[in-house]
Amino acid sequence: MSMDYISAYKTSLADPEGFWLNAAQAIDWFEPPTRAFAPELGVYGRWFPDGVVNACHVMLDSHVAGGRGDRTALIYDSPVTGTKRTYSYAQLLTKVSRFAAVLSDLGVGKGDRVVIYMPMVPEALIGIYACNRLGAIHSVVFGGFAANELAKRIDDAAPKVILTASCGIEPTRKVAYKPLLDQAIAMSACPPDAVIVLQRPELKAEMIPGQDHDWAGLVEAAKGRGTPCARMKATDPLYILYTSGTTGTPKGVVRDTGGYLVALAWSMGALYGIKPGETFFCASDIGWVVGHSYIVYAPLIVGCTTILYEGKPVGTPDAGAFWRVAAEHKAAALFTAPTAIRAVKKEDPRGEKFATYDLSHFRALFLAGERADPATLEWAEGLLKTPVIDHCWQTETGWAIVANPLGLGALPVKHGSPTVPMPGYDVRVLDDAGHPVPAGTLGNIVIRLPLPPGCLPTLWNDEARFRKGYLEGFPGYYQTSDAGFIDEDGYVFFMARTDDIINVAGHRLSTGGMEEAIASHPDVAECAVVGVADAIKGQSPVGFVVLKSGVSRTEAEIEREIVALVRERVGPVAAFKMALTVARLPKTRSGKILRGTMQKIADGEDWTMPATIEDPAVLDEIGGALAGRK
């Protein structure tokens, strides 16, 4: 194994103070921390307790002050609108500082929340950095969620202001964001004081007098104004990012400021092998954690160029889109989800599109968000002839738990494993009783506390849920809710979630949330949603429904309504396309629905009859219903 990795990892666990204080020197603090970790603070301790910093200062002001103002900070590349724009660090700073004045005029200050429901446009980043500047806490909500999901997040975050755009642009349709937001606000118990609307030429939004403000108008009126950076404690929240839990109520992952900046700065060099001034292409969405960390934050922290790509891996216009963007902007690396590569592979299996681009600057492809299947890894390696690096993390951790640190000298790849734990992550595998299991044995993947800098210190408004959901299952450890194993060489393998979360096209979704939507249909008695294998998306949801007796309409009619209901309540991102009526759901004698067994039957995998099943015949009925539909 690479000695650099081994020594970094060992030092991070043996001397976390030394390791992280050293890493913290990469950041331009207002007051550098004198201590790395304070075990007496927070739920399990807090990082850099006496550091004072501002994320916007680190990402923009300090580069401009350091003479790097002319360097390109942001490239906006939007095949769906036919637009390309670049912003230097100095230009971005001017825009952000002015927009911070706009927000401040609307009463936004330190600690206030600002919800951002926007597509992949530069204004979304400007809004985020302006929040950073003021010390306000942003919460970005992914555009593919429905009004109902947005309302839940608004209620929990209680934002003073919401930033939105008139529309998002999907390859086949325009998504009118503003009516969705209006519906969400109407449902919400915490309406904001103001909404700022970016009118896009592709589809204009109706404005509500007294609530809505025109983005361009406010910015024009604030010409020449600027706002200083607020002095924030390293432990102050930077953002809240909602993610799926096992119920329909999303979890508000809180990110602190100092620890996150330090961890991301460390990762850019050591993990991704990226040097200041290079271009990093992360093709996620700012609504997901990967987009937060590696589109919005990390590249600018270290003085790189970030690419904001408003398009898809395929269809905008073709399967060469990623390679076109990487070639044109001389990206050193691409970070995306395996599902995107599977989509590219399906459309361009022989890499004919790829062959038309000059990727001489390109050094590595990074994949995360779901398990990277060996076939996809092999295909990408064969095509790119560069390292293809799988790494694993969660919304909660904010950066990789397990990865192959390219910047420290890549370790040999084992397909199926994202490789080894990153510094600060003491990863273990325990059985259900909390005992360590031997190498190669499947168990619960946990991380010994404390979590390293950058990881969540708690959940917004709900410390009890944080403790219960993550810390109480295995005292002294953070529970990832992933099952897997560590092999004899210390490689970690993530195999499956241990809860009811499924991963659809790299998007984390709660089956519980979909079940809540289905159960609200007046003809449904009960239901269960499971994730079945999908060649492109990894998993796709299937809902099994039991109808109330005496329902007069046809099953097909009700199933269609259920599909529409999930789209309306959860959103198109759930990609819920199949509801299947069954007479009964398989349950244990204590009434627990046997979702795992149903999933295995749907996937055609071997399964064993659960000893506690109430009525084994129900499983045959499930198999029959699926066979009838295939």
Residues near ligand AMP, by CB under 6 A: 243, 289, 368-372, 390-395, 418, 480, 482, 494, 497, 503, 508
Three-state secondary structure readout of 16-77? HHHHHHHHHCCCCCCECCCCCEECCCCCCCEECCCCEECHHHHHHHHHHHHHHCCCEEEEEE
Which range in 19-27, 331-339, 455-463, 586-594 contacts ligand COA by CB under 6 A?
331-339
Rounded Cα distance between 4 and 604, Å, is 44
Q: How far is the CB of 276 from ligand COA (least distance, A)?
A: 24
**Three-class SS string for 573-591?**
HHCCCEEEECCCCCEECCC
Q: How far is the CB of 172 from ligand COA (least distance, A)?
A: 6
Beta strands in 83-236 (DSSP E): 83-88, 113-117, 137-140, 161-165, 167-170, 173-176, 194-198, 212-214, 232-233
Q: How far is the CB of 173 from ligand COA (least distance, A)?
A: 7
What's CA 534's distance to the chain center, in Å? 20
Partner that binds at residue 508, options ligand COA, ligand AMP, none, CB closer than 5 to 8 Å by kind: ligand AMP
What x/- string results for residues 362 through 401 when contact with ligand COA is judged by CB under 6 A? ------xx--------------------------------
For residue 198, with 0-12 CB atoms within 10 Å meaning exposed, 13-18 middle and 19 or more buried, which class applies?
Answer: buried
Least separation, in Å, of the C-beta of 241 and ligand AMP?
A: 9
CB nearer to ligand COA: pick between 160 and 342:
342
With respect to ligand COA, which residue has the nearer C-beta, 195 or 222? 195
Residues 570-599 touching ligand COA, rule: CB under 6 A, are: 572-573, 575
3-state secondary structure at position 190: coil
- 278-297 residues near ligand COA, rule: CB under 6 A: 284-285, 288, 290
* Contacts with ligand COA, 66-105, as mask; x by CB under 6 A: ----------------------------------------
DSSP string, 505-564: TTEEEEHHHHHHHHHTSTTEEEEEEEEEEETTTEEEEEEEEEEPTT--S-HHHHHHHHHH
CA torsion through residues 442, 446, 452, 454, sign = positive
Task: In angstroms, give the least distance from the CB of 340 to ligand COA.
Answer: 4
Q: Which is nearer to ligand AMP, 459 or 580 (CB)?
A: 459
Query: Is residue 229 within 8 Å of 54, Cβ to Cβ?
Result: yes
Please list every residue from 466 through 505 that binds ligand COA, using CB under 6 A: 505
Could you tell me the smallest distance in angstroms from the CB atom of residue 377 to ligand COA? 15
Nearest approach, Cβ of residue 368 and ligand AMP (Å): 5
Q: How many residues bind ligand COA (CB under 6 A)?
A: 26
Nearest alpha carbon to residue 251 among 239, 240, 260: 240
Residue 369 beta carbon to ligand AMP: minimum distance, rounded to whole angstroms: 5
The least CB distance from residue 473 to ligand COA, in Å, is 26
Taking CB within 5 to 8 Å according to partner kind, which of ligand COA, ligand AMP, none is near residue 343? Answer: ligand COA
Give the C-alpha separation, 595 to 502, whole Å. Answer: 12
Site for ligand COA in 332-351 (CB under 6 A): 336-337, 339-340, 343
Q: Which residue number has the CB closest to ligand COA? A: 143
Residue with Cβ nearer ligand COA (182 or 426)? 182
Distance separating the N- and C-terminal Cα atoms of the chain: 47
Q: Name which of 27, 167, 44, 105 is nearest 476 in CA terms.
A: 44
SS3 helix, strand, coil % of the chain, rounded to 5? 35, 25, 40
Binding positions for ligand COA, rule: CB under 6 A: 143-144, 168, 170, 175, 284-285, 288, 290, 312-314, 336-337, 339-340, 343, 368-369, 505-507, 536, 572-573, 575
